[in-house]
Amino acid sequence: MLDKVTPSWIIGWGNLNQQAVTDAFLVQDEIAISGASTNESPSQRFVVVGDIWLSNRLSLFERLGMARETHQTNCELIALLWEKWGVDCLTELQGMFAIAVYDRAEKTLFLARDPVGGYTLYYTISGTTKWIAPRLKSLLSYHTQQLDLVALRDYLSCSFVPGERTMWRDVRELRPGMILQFPQQQKWYYWQPQEHIIGQDQNQSWHANKLRSRLDTIVQEYLPENEPVGVYLSGGLDSSCITALVSQYHDQPVHTYAIHFGKEFRNELAFSRLVAEHCQTHHHILEISLKQMWQQLPTAMSHLDDPIGDPLTVPNFLLAQQAKNDVGIIFNGEGGDPCFGGPKNQPMLLNQLYSNNQQQIENAYLLSFKKCAEDLPQLLRPEIWHQVKNEPTVFADDLFSSAQYLNRLMGINIKFKGADHILTKVNNITRSANLEARSPLFDQRIVQLSMEIPPEYKLAGAEEKAVLKQAVQDLLPETIIKRPKSGMMVPVQIGFSRYWQRKAKKLLLSKHSAIAPYLNQDIIKDFLNFRGDVWRRFGVKLWLLTSLEMWLRMNR
């Protein structure tokens, strides 16, 4: 029996079918709300519904001239701010939010999402009624079951669905930092990460000190009072520096969590233990077997909105289940690579020297994900490939902007891989365990600061994240600061070749499989038999396909 997604709020807007909104609270003729209480502004003109966590809540109340100790909810706070400043209040919010604001006087509905994409918001685009929810699965009964073929193509290339598309043809995702207004259906960005180099004549230390000051402030804002917290600790730079900062500023127990896949496989436990001992945390180590990986995949997929083909999804799910026994808030180091020039940018920087046209650069970017981009002409059925092969990618505008090349790559990683893969996964998986996630390195202020730092201080030759390393060098052992990026390698190649092959064949090659109408099963047979697997990448591709199949089965 698979876990069910926790019910969440849904809004119906437009030509409401009375049968569809029987159990909903009808605010006015144009809008119905189900699954959430409504919060009104003092004049009762504005009604606010949403998922909101704000790190600057107290300072916002102060700006409104209210006492620091207040019992108003975050929705009530935004109702107050909206009545005073309208949509401009969004630029004052620090944190994560996905909100809907109804203006009774103008009969207008606004949707808005936080600048970096910590929380999600989806809406249907077909029919005279628009349905809106923070969870894609909540909208299943309000749209057709037809796949968006371009989204399918992009998932196979990236292991997630980038941009406003979702896997469903009739549903879109509101982009981070965007406002959508009904009934006009106008949308615009109130914030996006933009290159704005500051202190070009300053040295790296100056930028590192500025970054450290901001990190100190943000981590302290994120910490709760009088309760323990957790940190996912791999032993890499990003999770280690967050562990060190949390331990330095928190006066309650700090729990850290690390994983490995058994003695047979390479792990980073020595590094995570070193940091845990250095920071004096309560350290927990979870061993995950390949049997568990396969068994828990359907449950993990059932908690995701769009499919994510990242092999770490299941370990993240199991780690969250363990952490919930100790804490209610879990920190992570996500954001270090996208914001500060991680090593995955290096292949694209080298490619720039040899590529001389837009098509080559776009193809190189898709190939840098090392998923199925090069297989698409054969993997997709001919009629499917014919429909999608000339559709533009969502990356082109950023890839060919006027920003410096590394900042272009970082901008894409923040806007798409960050929002559509990393933060969405963090949000879905932590909530499945009733945990709240905190990602300080993805805070809007860190993202903006990363775009102000000269590129040569982020990826300095062969040294990745140089400015971040300097900013936190006093917090961590030298071994952690100087170790090269290795990443958590999930042994899916061995998993499929030794343990999962028969089960995967039954799952993927059945004529009744959910992916059968779209994909060429002869190519999948080659993957399953590892024919031509020179670079040993078929395991990752098979996990991508298996995740998609499981996700589709959970959502049909």
| Portion of the chain with pLDDT greater than 90, in percent | 83
| Residue-level pLDDT at 483 | 86
- CA 177, chain centre distance (Å): 14
Q: Which domain covers residue 547, as residue numbers?
A: 366-401+491-554
**What average pLDDT does range 165-188 have in this prediction?**
97
pLDDT beyond 80 at 398: yes
C-alpha to C-alpha distance for 354 and 351, rounded to whole angstroms: 5
| Residue-level pLDDT at 25 | 57
Task: Enter the tokens of residue 480.
Answer: 């952690």
Domain contains 220:
yes
The answer on 213 and 183 residing in a single domain is no
pLDDT beyond 60 at 3: no
The answer on 214 and 81 residing in a single domain is no
pLDDT tens string 124-139 = 999 889 999 999 999 9
pLDDT-derived band at 192, boundaries 50, 70, 90: very high
Residues 6+ apart with CB under 8 A from 392: none
pLDDT tens string 460-491 = 777 889 999 999 999 999 999 998 777 668 99
The answer on 388 and 314 residing in a single domain is no
**What average pLDDT does range 280-304 have in this prediction?**
97
Domain contains 531:
yes
pLDDT beyond 80 at 549: yes
The answer on 218 and 127 residing in a single domain is no
C-alpha to C-alpha distance for 366 and 363, rounded to whole angstroms: 5
| Portion of the chain with pLDDT greater than 70, in percent | 93
- CA 427, chain centre distance (Å): 7
C-alpha to C-alpha distance for 463 and 342, rounded to whole angstroms: 9
| Residue-level pLDDT at 416 | 96
Enter the pTM of the model: 0.95
C-alpha to C-alpha distance for 99 and 524, rounded to whole angstroms: 41
CATH of the domain at 280: 3.40.50.620
Q: Is the dihedral of CA 193, 194, 198, 202 positive or negative?
A: positive
Count of other CB atoms within 10 angstroms of residue 556: 8
The answer on 84 and 71 residing in a single domain is yes
The answer on 332 and 238 residing in a single domain is yes
Are the C-beta atoms of 307 and 421 separated by less than 8 Å? no
pLDDT beyond 70 at 380: yes
pLDDT-derived band at 351, boundaries 50, 70, 90: confident
pLDDT tens string 265-290 = 999 999 999 999 999 999 999 999 99
| Residue-level pLDDT at 1 | 28
pLDDT beyond 80 at 506: yes
**What average pLDDT does range 229-240 have in this prediction?**
97
Mean pLDDT of the chain: 92
Q: How far is CA 238 from CA 245, 335, 442, 481, in A?
A: 11, 8, 11, 10
Mapping DSSP onto H, E and C, the string for 514-545 reads CCCCCECHHHHHHHHCCCCCCCCCHHHHHHHH
